[in-house]
Amino acid sequence: MVAKVATISDHSPDIADMERIFKAQRAAYRAHPMPSAEERISTIKRMKNAIIRHEDALVEAVNRDFGSRCPTETRFVELVSLVEVIKYHVKNVRKWMKPEKRSMPVNMRPAKAKVIRQPLGVVGIIVPWNYPYFLALDAAIAALTAGNRVMIKMSEFTPHSADAMKAMLAEIYPEEQVAVITGEADVGIAFTKLPFDHLIFTGSTNVGKHVMAAAAENLTPVTLELGGKSPVIIHESFPMKEAAERISWGKCINAGQTCVAPDYILVHRSQKDEFARVFSEVVSNWYPTKLNNEDYTSVVNERQLNRLKSYLKDAEEKGAKVVPINPAREDFSTSGKMPMTMVFDTTSDMLIEQNEIFGPLLMVRTYDNLEEAVHYVNDRPRPLALYYFDYDQARVDYVMTHTHAGGGCVNDTLTHVAVEDVPFGGIGPSGMGHYHGYEGFLTFSKSKGIVQKGKINPTKLLFPPWNRRIHKMVLKMAFKPD
């Protein structure tokens, strides 16, 4: 039985058009369910060339949405990364598509077994506002490499980026292959209710629950890339300036508006003041001013800015120490920007401890020994990323095998997301499922097991009536103890 597309609102032209596109994509998939490797390579190569042609328009659009976002930063963390992802998929798609031979039990030979990877059909991608291009197209590339049709719902909070994306993709793909859907929250809700063959959502844990519930109505499998509070543990032996630089790089990109940005620091009690001093020096050196500095990104909108301000107000009222890094003593009261701010002495009743920060605030906590730091992380919901700084391999192995996180880095932050050859995905409250690289190809494919027999049929020996001599012999051999 084929699931019907539920009409959410007959009077909404956006939703009606979205439903029409879904039906067109499903029909196109049925007409051509197994694109060749050459077709898939051609499809994703077109995207690479389009990104290069539209580079300036894409950068300007996201800058308008944020109010101020460093153009070079956008080029590196979104566009350059996507070009590298495309190169990787072009290089590997033929290998991934090859049927995989599997072994057969002795009593079933000479039959053969194999696994083939088939496209699922129509894949839905729900994109957040923080990295509108990378988080839309990285998933789309994996889905297209797997041979699927793709519908992308862009965030209503980045309308200029959505329009730029729509214009770029409409130039190179028919809408029955790739389509960009724009619109407000009602369109997004309707999008989650379409009977996709797979749905991937990147965003907050709370919204992820609603997406999963909507998808369950159609038994649509989901990949959820959520967030959480990603910790950094600094071992006391690690050079503090080196740690501060690598942490600052990961925290300051996009003003901390990154799902895998460091959320809180665990530093040895004896080094708290040293970390605060060195981290402040590094950030001040990189961003001596911020108000009119295009290198430093704004908070995306007033709603998010007020959320972050409420965290600081709540923390201060409950006894936390708030230390903004503002070397030029600029006034941010009428700006969309917020200085990088360290928060000390937080407690569990504070909003900043209860929620993912997703902005330029950084909690700093202390520990007395490494086991205590590991227990602190494990006592909390599993994060999307964990970062550990230490050159001792035994301690590295201990931390990485005794904590759970979606992924992470040793002696760095964020860079694991840009490595296409490793899977990316959360665990528990930080998400479920994986994509990137081969894991993305598998996520958006159906791995179908096939057994093929020739003219010789050994199973014939086991045909009824049961309890013949051959049956007794086979059972005796099967249950022979070691």
Q: Where are the alpha helices (DSSP H) in 218-324?
A: 240-252, 272-286, 302-317
Res. 429: pLDDT tops 60: yes
Q: Kind of pairing, strands 385-389 and 231-234?
A: parallel
Query: Scanning the structure block, which residue is given the tokens 């994109």?
Result: 127
Measured CA to CA, the distance from residue 385 to residue 387 in angstroms comes to 7
Query: How much is the average pLDDT of 159-184?
Result: 97
Other Cβ atoms less than 10 A from the Cβ of 100: the count is 12
Name the more confident of 3 and 440.
440
Res. 10: pLDDT tops 70: no
Q: Which of 70, 252, 259, 409 is catalytic?
A: 259
What is the residue-averaged pLDDT of the chain? 95
- Of 241, 263, 261, 200, the C-alpha closest to 416 is 261
Distances, alpha carbon 75 to alpha carbons 62, 78, 103, 269, 301, in Å: 11, 6, 47, 39, 21
Res. 4: pLDDT tops 50: no
What pLDDT is attached to residue 109? 82
Give the pLDDT confidence of 123-133 residue by residue, as tens digits.
Answer: 999 999 999 99
Give the pLDDT confidence of 340-359 residue by residue, as tens digits.
Answer: 999 999 999 999 999 999 99
Q: Where are the alpha helices (DSSP H) in 114-204?
A: 134-145, 159-172, 185-192
What pLDDT is attached to residue 462? 85
Give the pLDDT confidence of 85-112 residue by residue, as tens digits.
Answer: 999 999 999 999 999 999 988 777 888 9
Query: How much is the average pLDDT of 197-204?
Result: 96
Q: What is the dihedral of CA 5, 8, 9, 12, to 10 degrees?
A: -80
What pLDDT is attached to residue 12? 72
Residue 259: active-site member: yes
Coil, helix or strand at residue 115? strand
Query: Scanning the structure block, which residue is given the tokens 């028919």?
Result: 174
Res. 478: pLDDT tops 90: no
Give the pLDDT confidence of 11-25 residue by residue, as tens digits.
Answer: 577 899 999 999 999
Band (pLDDT 50/70/90 cuts) for residue 317 is very high
What pLDDT is attached to residue 93? 98
Res. 79: pLDDT tops 80: yes
What pLDDT is attached to residue 2? 42
Measured CA to CA, the distance from residue 75 to residue 282 in angstroms comes to 23
Band (pLDDT 50/70/90 cuts) for residue 43 is very high
Res. 223: pLDDT tops 90: yes
CA count, 13 A, side-chain hemisphere, 314: 16
- Phi, psi angles (nearest 5°) of residue 335: -110, 155
Band (pLDDT 50/70/90 cuts) for residue 459 is confident
Sheet containing strand 112-119, edge to edge, reads: 100-102, 112-119, 445-452
Residue 225: active-site member: yes
Res. 5: pLDDT tops 50: no
What pLDDT is attached to residue 1? 38
Measured CA to CA, the distance from residue 268 to residue 266 in angstroms comes to 7
Res. 6: pLDDT tops 90: no
Band (pLDDT 50/70/90 cuts) for residue 457 is confident
Q: Which of 73, 225, 353, 439 is catalytic?
A: 225
What pLDDT is attached to residue 220? 97
CA count, 13 A, side-chain hemisphere, 415: 9
Band (pLDDT 50/70/90 cuts) for residue 30 is very high
Measured CA to CA, the distance from residue 379 to residue 210 in angstroms comes to 25
- Phi, psi angles (nearest 5°) of residue 390: -175, 140
Give the pLDDT confidence of 356-404 residue by residue, as tens digits.
Answer: 999 999 999 999 999 999 999 999 999 999 999 999 999 999 999 999 9
